[in-house]
Amino acid sequence: MSDKTMNENSNDFKERVEMLAEALSLKGSETEFNIGDNRLLFSTYIKMIESDQDEFFIEKDHKHKIINSLKNTLSVYDSQESESIKNMFEKLKNNDPTDFVLVPVFFFPGDYRKELAHVCGFTVYKKDEQFIVLKVDKQRLFDGYTASYFEIPANNSKELGELFFQERDSWQKEPFYIFNELAKLSTSNKTIPIPAIEMKEQTTTNCGVNEIEASLKTILFNCRTDIFSLDKDTPITPTWNPKYWEAIVEMRRRFLDALKGKNIEQNKNLDHIFHFYLYRKGKLVEKPGFDAALSSSGWYRRIRNLYSEDPYIPIMLDNNGDIPSTYDKSLLEKNSKIIEPPGAWGGQGIQTFDLFELEGFKAYLTRKIQIYKERLPHINIPIAKEMIEHVATKLEEKKQEIEVALHKRSEIELMKKNEKEKQTVGTVEKAKKVDTEKKSDTVTKETKNERTEEKRSSLKSVREHAVIHAQRLTTINREKMKQTKQPSDQMKNRVTETQQNMLWEDAKNRTTIKPNKMKQSEQVKVNVTEKTESVSWEESKKKNIASCFAFLRSLNPFTKKAEYSYVRLGIPEQESAKKVKFSTLFQRFQTNKKKPDPTSQRPARQQPMNISR
C-alpha cells in the first residue's frame, strides 16, 4: 500500500474518531467490519510499534520483524489472486513467533437472520514444518476457548490461501463456515485448545477493533513466552508488558499518540475523547460515579451513555476536527439527548408519572449532574466546557422541576393516604361495633340459656328432695305400724300396704312430669278412700305426700314469672336452692298453712246450743 493512501486514510478525522471510540470501548461498531476499508487500524498498529523506544511492546531486535508481519496483513488485501497469499504463507519462517500473518475474519455464529455477526483474529504461523492457524476470540463462540489452533499440513498451503482469499471478498452465511473449512484441512479435523489463556469477554459490540487487538496482544506475548507449551492447569492472561501495573492504559495512550496527526485541533479533539476512557478508569477523579466499581458493566454503560450524550462530539465531527468559537444554544437544546423541554420528560408530561417514577428521575438527574461536574475541570476545549456547563444547568433546572412535582404529588398522596386511613378506621370501628353487638347477643342468649338451665336444675333438685322425703316418711310410718298393729289387722295392713305402694308409684310418676306440663291450681285435692279403722298414721302419711306434691305443682307457674333463683325456690334471699333441704321447706309450708286440709274427712265439732229462757 502506498504512503499516499495511508496518509489519506490517516487524515480522515471521522474514521479516526470512530476507531478510537471503539478501541476504548466507548461505543459499539455501527457499520459492518471490512478490513479493506479499515486499513487505518493496522497502519496505526505499525506506527505504534515503530514509536516504541523503551521496548514496551517488543525488544528492539524483534521490532522490525513485527512491523513487517503487520505489513503482510495489509498485503493480503492488496493481493489480486489467491496464489500470492499462498506464497506469503509458504515464506513464513519455521518456529519464528515474530513471523506471522494476522487476518481478521468475519463470520456468523448461527442463523444469520437471528444472530449478529462476529469478528475474530486468525494468525498464521509455521511451526514444525506445518501451518498453525491460531484463533483468538474473547467471546469463545466456536469451541468454548479463548485461544485454540488448527494444525494444517504444509501441502495444504494452496487450499489455505484460497480460503482466506475467498473470505476477504465475501462473507459466507453458513454458521462458522471458515472454522469448518479449516477443520477439514487440519490433521485432527478440530481445534486444539490452549486452556491456559483466559481473557474477559468484550463489553460492547466493538469486536472489529477489540478482537483484533486481543490477537495482537497474544502475538506479542508469544514472542516472550511460548503459548503452545503453557501448563494447561495454570491460567494466564496475556498482557502488553508484564513490567507495567496497568499496561492496558499505557497501551491505549500509545495507540492514541499513533492515531494523532499534524492537525493540533484534531489532536485536541482526540484527547477530549480519550478523557472519557481515563474517567472510566478512575484517573480523573478520586471517586467516580458514587464509588461505582470501575470494572463493572453498569459503570461501563454509564460512561458509554455519557459519551453518546456529549453535546460537543457531533459538532466536532461536523467540523472535521476544527474547533468552533461559538455554538447555538437553542440548537443544542433541540438536538440534545438529555435536555427535556419544560414540563416534560421523555416526551410526556411530568404530571402523568407517579411518585415512584418521579423519584427515579430525580435520582437519575442527581447522578448525571454529579458526573458532568466531575468532568468539567478536565475539559480543555473552551467551547466543549461551555456546552457541558449549559447542559448541567438545564439538568439542574429539570431536577428542580421534578422536585416541585414530587412535592405536589407527595401532598396528594398524603391526602389520599389520610382519607384511606379514615375510611379504614371507620370500617374497623363499624366492624368492632357489629362484633360487640354479636358478642352481646351471644352473652344474652347464653345468660338466658343458663337461667333456663338453672330453673330446670333447681326444680329437679326440689323434686328429688320431695321424693326422698316422702320415701322416708313412708318407711318410718311402716315401722311404727309394725310395732303397734294387732295380728287381727294383718289383712287390713296388707291392703293398706298395697295402697301405699300404688300411691308411691303414682308419686314417682308425677315427679317425672316436665315443669311446663304442671299447670294446676295451688290447692291439690287428694282423695284416698281407706276402709281400715285405724287411720291416724294413714292420714298423716297421705297428708305428707299430698302436701309435697301440691307444693311441687304450685312451683311451676310461680317459677316462670320469677327472675331470681331465691324467688323461684320460694326461700329467703340468703339461702341457696341447692343447700335447703326439702324437709325444711315442707315444715315451713306446714307452719304457714292456714286453711284446713281439703282431704280431711273429720266432722266439724258442734258447739252446744245456748237456749235462753
Say which residue, 600 or 32, is predicted with more confidence: 32
The whole-number pLDDT of residue 272 equals: 95
The whole-number pLDDT of residue 216 equals: 96
Cα torsion 190, 195, 196, 201 to 10°: value is 100
Task: Domain ranges for the chain, please list them.
Answer: 32-261, 267-419, 456-592
Instruction: Please name the residue that has the C-alpha cell 301440691.
Output: 550
pLDDT bracket for residue 566 (50, 70, 90)? very low
The whole-number pLDDT of residue 409 equals: 81
Say which residue, 490 or 161, is predicted with more confidence: 161
Say which residue, 544 or 573, is predicted with more confidence: 544
Percentage of the chain beyond pLDDT 70 is 67
The whole-number pLDDT of residue 554 equals: 56
pLDDT bracket for residue 270 (50, 70, 90)? very high
Tell me the helix, strand and coil percentages in the chain, rounded to 5: 60, 5, 35
- Kindly state the average pLDDT of the residues 219-228: 94
Identify the weakest region by mean pLDDT among 157-161, 359-363, 415-419. 415-419
Task: Flag whether the pTM goes above 0.75.
Answer: no
CA distances in angstroms from 278 to 45, 284, 288, 293, 351, listed in the order given: 21, 6, 11, 14, 39
Residues 247, 239 contacting (CB under 8 angstroms):
yes
> Residues 167-181: pLDDT tens digits?
877 778 899 999 999
For the cut 80, the answer to whether the pLDDT of residue 596 exceeds it is: no
Residues 41, 73 contacting (CB under 8 angstroms):
no
The whole-number pLDDT of residue 76 equals: 86
For the chain, helix (H) and strand (E) counts, in that order, are 19, 7
DSSP of 162-230: HHHHHHHH----STTHHHHHHHHHSSSSS-EE-TTB--PPPSSS-HHHHHHHHHHHHHHHHHHS-GGG-
Give the amino acid at 95.
N
Burial 58-88 (b: 16+ CB within 10 A, else e): beeebbebbbebbebbbebbebeebeebbeb
Identify the weakest region by mean pLDDT among 163-167, 376-380, 455-459. 455-459
- Distance (Å, whole) CA 546 – CA 543: 5
Residue 342, C-alpha cell as written in the block: 419544560
- Kindly state the average pLDDT of the residues 7-12: 53
pLDDT bracket for residue 260 (50, 70, 90)? very high
Identify the weakest region by mean pLDDT among 42-46, 246-250, 311-315, 483-487. 483-487
Residue among 307, 321, 372 at smallest CA distance from 28: 307
Report the chain's mean pLDDT, rounded to a whole number.
Answer: 77
> Residues 283-307: pLDDT tens digits?
876 554 444 466 677 788 888 989 9
- Kindly state the average pLDDT of the residues 540-547: 57
pLDDT bracket for residue 48 (50, 70, 90)? very high
Identify the weakest region by mean pLDDT among 69-78, 186-195, 470-479, 547-556. 547-556
